Amino acid sequence: MELKITTRLIAIFTAALMLGGCMSSEKNEPLPRMSKKGAEDWARHFTESMARSAGVKIKEGTVKPAFHDCVGENDEVAEDGRFLLDYYARASLPVSEHAKAVKKVRADLEKRGYTINGYQETGGGKPSVLLDAAHPEKGFTVSAEGHAPQDELLFSISTPCLLPPGATQQQL
């Protein structure tokens, strides 16, 4: 279990570094706008789409949205309502089918213009598969992963720093 969490954290950290974290390269560049409800609705729709690509359905009760403050390069936190969302959902699938399903998700993401940041597949006694991708312009990162012995896939999404509609962006 600890290895899975560590692998996931490394993947998220790597994706955040590649995207410049929550802040863009320009400290006060306008942030994309989306409400928390809009971000959660989009994440739900997108994880359901990834699940369809994999040929599975999201399991009831496994969806976990988590909103966080955006933290800048120097640990600054603005007070203008900006946020990011990490969204997780699980789907049942036998371990023996994980790699095949995640390859389908990968193909669909590539068709949508996502950049594949990482793909790892291991076999043996504890097979696993991990896919990390990001949208090059919009900054959304997505992943699909499966690990033995769990007969389920985990789909996750992380948004870039988003500013609610109508909020005045604080200059840092």
pLDDT digits (tens, 9 = 90+) for 3-44: 443 344 334 433 333 333 443 456 678 899 999 999 999 999
Q: What is the per-residue pLDDT across 95-124, written as a single tens digit (0 to 9) for each?
A: 999 999 999 999 999 999 999 999 999 988
Q: What is the per-residue pLDDT across 39-89, written as a single tens digit (0 to 9) for each?
A: 999 999 999 999 999 999 999 999 999 999 998 888 889 899 999 999 999
Q: Are strands 83-92 and 64-69 parallel, antiparallel or unpaired?
A: antiparallel
Amino acid 171: pLDDT = 84
Count CB-CB contacts under 10 A for residue 92.
13
30 Cβ contact list (under 8 Å, min separation 6): 169
Angle made by CA atoms 150, 155, 158, in degrees to the nearest 5: 140
3-state secondary structure 78-107: CCCCCEEEEEEEEEECCHHHHHHHHHHHHH
Count CB-CB contacts under 10 A for residue 35.
16
166 Cβ contact list (under 8 Å, min separation 6): none
Q: Dig out the tokens for 70 from the structure.
A: 């955006």
- 38 phi, psi to nearest 5 deg: -60, -40
Count CB-CB contacts under 10 A for residue 76.
12
110 Cβ contact list (under 8 Å, min separation 6): 116
Q: How far apart are CA 71 and CA 91, in angstroms?
A: 31
